[in-house]
A and B are shown apart, each in its own frame.
Chain A
Amino acid sequence: MSGIVLRNIRKSFGPTTALHDVSLSIVNGEFLTLLGPSGCGKSTLLRILAGLEVQDAGSVAIGDRVVDGLRPKRRDVAMVFQSYALYPHMTVAENIALPLRMRRLNAWQRAPLVGRWLPGTGMARRAIDMEVGGTAEALGIAHLLDRKPGQLSGGQRQRVALGRAMVRHPAVFLMDEPLSNLDAKLRVHMRAEIKELHRRLGVTFVYVTHDQAEAMTLSDRVVVMLDGEVLQVAQPQKIYSDPDDRRVAEFVGSPKINMFDAIMRERGQVDVAGTALSVPSELTLGTELTVAIRPEAFQLAGHAGPGVLTGLVRMVEHMGSDLFVYLDVAGVEHPVIARLSAERAPEIVTGQTLHVGVRPDHVLLFDREGRRVRLRDGAAAASVTPVREWA
């Protein structure tokens, strides 16, 4: 049961810097996800936490202990790997039992022949077998204990890897993209199981993924990382609806958020692709901005006017409950994506002209450096688009 504090962690591999000065504090019992594209340093951070890599600078504390220089096994953390990293020459039972054997039995007791006859070994071994059995039972793999990992399916291997991590009751669970090797259906299923596992165990989970759906559904808080930097740490909804940084807004959300170059034209109005959008902001006139609009912030409008974008329909994607409409708008480089309700937009066809209105409270503003420009009363922005179902 421990929180984690990372202070000013830096790490480079040769000339490439993997982590620039990362600081993070993780609350005891929290499910925290490190989210970012591959190569953003999230796995490196996890490895540093586990003690598998050594940071160039900075310190790691787990619970009340600073664990810098402590070897992985002394840190009381368990890790689940993307490749599962099971030992192929051992049975499932031996795989799960190994961490306990290494901790509870001394070198002589572990020895193949003599060990059995040393005092205390029998009892310790029986206790280990009991716990391995209990863990396997909890994960629904009790009938597989005598198999080798090679004879198991992906989902079963995943469970064995979880079992090996669970069996020693670590203070912190580290998971490095544990679901990436599973097929889509199983992934959704295991996602729910991991969530359930966290609820049951109540210990700190640190979860690394590049999949925003996993991050959004599992986490108490999400850390968005890019190029070795932490961009934002917040609850999943906040990451989506109230991003601090342009890159966060772009990375999270599918389909991708629409970005427009804009100029503050008059007080409370920006000029986007020839249309005036009203925004409750007090920026000086002439300021250059980036306006970001989520696809679902658009709604059908009857005619052109202020706050309405007009474009030619390039493509329509039916998603069942929703429509994704790709619009070519004059003066905008990329097609604008609007997510419209399928019922309210039944007869949209390719090539037609379409007017879409924007709800002003759903407009996000970023300055030219990509930092978020907060509205006058910050609360207005947080009046939040609901998080849609994540595929």
Chain B
Amino acid sequence: MSATRLFALPAILRHSVLLLTSALILVPFAWMVSLSIKPPGEIFRASFSFFPAQFHGAENYTKAITSVPLLHYIGNGLLVCALILALQILVCAPIAYALAKLNFRGRDLLFALVLIGLLLPHQVLSLPLFILCYQLGILNTYAALVFPYIVSPFGVFLFRQFFKSIPDDVVHAARLDGLSELSIVWKIMVPMSLPAILAFSIFSVVGHWNDLFWPLIAVRDGSLMPPPIGIMAFKNAEAGNDYGPLMAASTLVVAPLLIAFLAAQKWFVEGMTTGAVK
């Protein structure tokens, strides 16, 4: 009896802290969804209730979709994020394999460079990248949105750490079985590293889905803009913000990420911990 209480007390403390912090993170989300289905009058009411007295969701969401090409922006986001992710894995996995499993002169130096790349915030590079894109003549195209992210130091680092934890014998067995180095990467290393690949995918997609900084620099054509631009449209300094549709748009922009994350949650957590231990 006393023993259970002894164990229960720290558990209660731990869980209350966890509940409190998750509440802090979840409340804005809940508020966003709540506001997105309220009429303007209720939004500014002093008392708070999650569900509106009068359901105004249909109007807000219709306005969010029709007054700006929000679905088009979301389509842009899907296309750009998918392209970035596919190319990142295509480029990073072989690099990571070479850094993890092959012996060659200068390997450690190259890996050190990758780590330095990891330290640089992307914003620092925006001007050189802008000039590079200009020289390549790809400004104001999808290519400009994708190109700077193809080589991801984070991806190389994460994959390299994961590949290193795969025993050398597996690579040796694959060589004896007749696999070329590239087929070892795609047939053995990548399938064995699925948790790491999924974790990286989440980071990559979330990061680029929400990115507004680089698209605003690289692209001027409205039809190429990413999802966050759709939210910006309802922010109006002169006429005041139109909160209902603004929140509806935000909900729509966040929804695909939430769905993707929940679907991949199991592997995501697994990938983070495995990567961390090794």
**Interface of A toward B, CB cutoff 8 Å:** 47, 50-52, 71-73, 77-79, 81-83, 85-89, 98-99, 102-103, 164
The answer to whether A89 and B177 touch across the interface, beta carbons within 8 angstroms, is no
Q: Are A85 and B191 in contact (CB under 8 A)?
A: no
Are A85 and B179 in contact, CB atoms less than 8 angstroms apart?
Answer: no
CA distance A343 to B192 in the complex (A): 59
Return the 5 tightest CB-CB contacts between A and B, nearest first: A102-B178, A85-B169, A85-B173, A73-B178, A99-B177
Are the C-beta atoms of A79 and B191 separated by less than 8 Å?
Answer: no
Least CB separation from A102: chain B residue = B178
B176 touches A50 (CB 8 A): yes
B106: CB under 8 A from chain A?
no
A52 touches B177 (CB 8 A): no
Shortest CB-to-CB span from A220 to chain B, Å, is 24
B: residues with CB less than 8 A from A are 167, 169-170, 172-179, 183, 188, 191-192, 194
Within the complex, what minimum Cβ distance (angstroms) separates B104 from chain A?
Answer: 13
Complex partner residue of B167 from A51, A77, A78, A83, CB under 8 angstroms: A83
- Enumerate chain B residues within 8 angstroms of A47, measured Cβ to Cβ: 172
Interface pair B176/A87, CB less than 8 Å apart: no
- Contact partners of B174 in chain A: CB under 8 A: 87
Identity of the chain A residue whose Cβ is nearest the Cβ of B176 in the assembled complex: A72
Q: Is the CB of B177 within 8 A of A73?
A: yes
Known A87-B192, A89-B191; judge A164-B169 contact (CB<8 A). Answer: no
Q: Please count the residue pairs between chain A and chain B whose beta carbons lie under 8 angstroms apart in the complex.
A: 54
Please determine whether A102 and B177 come into contact, CB atoms closer than 8 angstroms: yes
Pair B177/A164 contact, Cβ less than 8 Å = yes
Smallest CB separation, B163 vs chain A (Å): 14
With A99-B178, A103-B178 given, is the CB distance from A79 to B173 under 8 Å? yes
Which residues of chain A are near B172, meaning CB under 8 Å?
A: 47, 50, 52, 72, 79, 81, 85
- A52-B172, A79-B172, A81-B169 known; A87-B178 Cβ under 8 A: no
Residues of B with C-beta under 8 A to A89: 191-192, 194
Please report the C-alpha to C-alpha distance between residue A164 and residue B178 in the assembled complex, in whole angstroms.
Answer: 12
Chain A residues, CB < 8 A from B188: 87
- Given known pairs A85-B169, A85-B170, A87-B170, the reply for A79 and B176 (CB within 8 Å) is yes
B270: shortest Cβ distance to chain A, in Å?
14
Nearest residue in A to B172 (C-beta to C-beta)? A52
Chain A residues with Cβ below 8 Å from B169 are 81-83, 85
Q: Complex Cα distance A89/B175, Å?
A: 17
Nearest-CB distance from B21 to chain A (Å)? 36
Query: CA of A50 to CA of B177 in the docked complex: distance in angstroms?
Result: 11
Bound CA span A81–B175, Å? 13
Q: Is A73 in contact with B192, judged by CB distance below 8 angstroms?
A: no
Chain B residues within an 8 Å CB radius of A83:
167, 169
